[in-house]
């Protein structure tokens, strides 16, 4: 089915480049020109990649049998194809867009926090929560634990983002913490899709292998925890150093 294959081609191309670029700002010097430039390109590529995933998911929901013949050959029921490659992929794509958007906005608006309450930013968080709940409901209908379990991530992400957005006066490191959480989170989302959905092409019978879903999540959580600890430690050290400086009479 050509629309699906077209979406897939762009999705794989931009996603592969973006996932390689992901490591440069993650491992490189924070705040450098390279960090900002590569981070900008990563964000743009992820938005395109996720948009193509929305197209793939929508095409799957319109024609599940035509778009996934390998799953049909494995005797997957149509409801399961729609659930995994339709509703779940749609939810993951929306969540990726929401994570990238929030990650960029937290840095862009660090000097004007009220700008984070723009209707598009708030609406995207609410829409992500809605998409997660729809995914969970669709998973419940077909008794697919994976769909229900991963929906918790979207609900938690949307709620914590909204908590930050409506915090009156966030501390200056909260912007950095939110940025790390969201951008690395978007990497987790796309790497998860790459490891799971992409694995379909190589071994369709193991497309839902829990190991394929858990590896990106585990690695991503380690990165988030490490980077957030580094930010907090630098903040505490700067405060301690400032407190030791004698005040001028």
Is the pLDDT at 194 greater than 80, yes or no? no
Tokens of 181: 């959480």
The rounded percent of the chain whose pLDDT value lies above 70 is: 89
The rounded percent of the chain whose pLDDT value lies above 90 is: 47
What pLDDT band is residue 249 in, cutting at 50, 70 and 90? very low
Q: What is the pLDDT of residues 122-151, one digit of tens each?
A: 999 999 999 999 999 999 999 998 889 889
pLDDT score of 55: 95
- d(C-alpha 172, C-alpha 179), whole Å: 12
Mean pLDDT to the nearest integer, 98-111: 91
């Amino acid at each position: 089915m050509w629309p699906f294959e077209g979406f897939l081609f762009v999705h794989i191309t931009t996603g592969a480049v973006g996932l390689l670029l992901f490591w440069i700002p993650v491992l490189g010097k924070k705040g450098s020109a390279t960090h900002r430039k590569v981070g900008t390109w990563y964000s743009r590529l992820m938005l395109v990649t996720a948009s193509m995933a929305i197209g793939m998911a929508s095409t799957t929901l319109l024609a599940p049998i035509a778009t996934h013949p390998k799953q049909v050959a494995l005797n997957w029921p149509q409801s399961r194809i729609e659930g995994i490659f339709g509703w779940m992929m749609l939810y993951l794509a929306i969540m990726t867009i929401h994570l990238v958007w929030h990650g960029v906005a937290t840095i862009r608006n660090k000097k004007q926090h009220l700008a984070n309450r723009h209707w598009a930013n708030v609406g995207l968080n609410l829409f992500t929560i809605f998409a997660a709940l729809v995914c969970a409901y669709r998973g419940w209908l077909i008794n697919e634990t994976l769909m229900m379990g991963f929906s918790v991530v979207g609900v938690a992400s949307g709620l914590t983002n909204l908590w930050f957005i409506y915090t009156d006066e966030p501390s200056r490191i909260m912007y950095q913490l939110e940025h790390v959480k969201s951008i690395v989170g978007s990497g987790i989302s796309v790497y998860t899709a790459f490891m799971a959905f992409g694995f379909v092409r190589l071994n369709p019978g193991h497309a839902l292998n829990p190991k394929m879903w858990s590896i990106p999540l585990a690695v991503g959580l380690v990165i988030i925890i490490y980077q957030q600890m580094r930010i907090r430690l630098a903040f505490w050290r700067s405060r301690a150093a400032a407190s030791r400086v004698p005040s001028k009479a």
